[in-house]
Amino acid sequence: MVGPIALALLTGRLIALDSQPISGVQVIVRWNEQSVLGSVDTLQVDSAGRFGELPREMSGDSVSFVIDASYSSRYDAARLVVSRDRLADEIRILLVPKRWTIRRGRFAGSEVSIDPTAALRRAPDFGSFGRVSGAHVVGWMPGSVPIPIVLRHDDGSRITASDSLAFWNAARDVEQALGDRLFLPSSDTTMRGRIYPVDVRLDRKIPGSGITFITWDAGGNIFEGSVRFRGSFEMHIAGIVQHELMHVLGFGHTTAWPSAMETRTSRAPLVTADDVAYAQLLMVVREWQQDPLVVGGLSEARATN
């Protein structure tokens, strides 16, 4: 059993993922789960998200934080547990907004309601749109975007110039929707930095129109991927190509909103505004999670929604 310990000043900061001023939020700290008296503090938060508390004594190896958000707050409530070893450094907690204003791209300025549960909800017999490894959002190694892509012309059913043109038109459309340069044509699959270029082939043996494989490490860092289309015909359907390219970026399936990542559909829809909002949110979460002082994310917000 861990005995009582004295703590230095607890300092923390709430990180608003939409970069807006914070209001309608307070932080509840439960120091000792087994104690009743004097075990809970309610801390006020300034507009920049900062909060702090005087030294305390505690027992146990962790502290519970509840981010209590009012009905009128822009942000979801959250609940998380932090190791006492982390209390020596500033605690930076991610706040998920209830609505996301699309920042750039084709749908820039549009507002989309955000449901953290929906982002992580598994589609029937499939994974979730937001993929996580441990507590980290899955995405490409930092600094590796735009992702190099090799269209294979050297084996089996060869990708033609017409196929290539259709593929890159669909890829540029994904970039225009998301508002980023995401894909880069490459001529070989030699390792670049810490990643391998994505290999794209035709493969008539696959069971569906297309299939994508990506590989990531324990930290959620993607470092390689491959895409297979059943034939040339599928490469000329923009919705099929966009679906596989969203997989390349690290996103999974969803049935929670109108999406290019729907399952069991014959419509092959294109990337939607909802896709863009959730994708941009997840990319921002992933960017913040590179900071070792950051805790929390979508799953913590989901716990109290």
Quote the pLDDT of residue 33: 61
Which residues in the chain show pLDDT less than 70? 1-8, 33-38, 155-156, 265-266, 302-305
Is 175:181 a contact under the CB 8 Å cutoff? Answer: yes
Quote the pLDDT of residue 84: 85
Q: Under CATH, which number does the domain 100-285 receive?
A: 3.40.390
DSSP 8-state secondary structure symbol assigned to residue 247: H
Across the strands, what pairs with 34?
none
The CA–CA distances, whole Å, from 198 to 147, 149, 188, 227, 261 equal 7, 5, 10, 7, 19
The CA–CA distances, whole Å, from 65 to 40, 41, 152 equal 10, 10, 51
* Model pLDDT for residues 194-211, shown as the tens digit of each residue: 999 999 999 999 999 999
For domain 5-97, which CATH number applies: 2.60.40.1110, 3.30.870.10, 2.60.40.10, 3.20.20.70? 2.60.40.1110
- CA 81 – CA 79 distance, rounded (Å): 7
- CA 132 – CA 139 distance, rounded (Å): 9
- CA 46 – CA 21 distance, rounded (Å): 9
| Stretch(es) of the chain classified as CATH 3.40.390 | 100-285
Is 44:23 a contact under the CB 8 Å cutoff? Answer: no
Contacts of 261 (CB under 8 A, 6+ apart): 129, 243, 246, 247, 251, 252, 253, 254, 275
Quote the pLDDT of residue 166: 98
Quote the pLDDT of residue 241: 98
| Stretch(es) of the chain classified as CATH 2.60.40.1110 | 5-97
Q: Angle, to 10 degrees, between the axis of helix 161-178 and the axis of helix 273-288?
A: 70
Is 121:171 a contact under the CB 8 Å cutoff? Answer: no
What's at 5, amino acid-wise? Answer: I
Quote the pLDDT of residue 155: 67
With CA atoms as reference, report the closest residue to 173 among 265, 270, 86. 270
The CA–CA distances, whole Å, from 252 to 53, 66, 139, 287 equal 40, 29, 11, 19
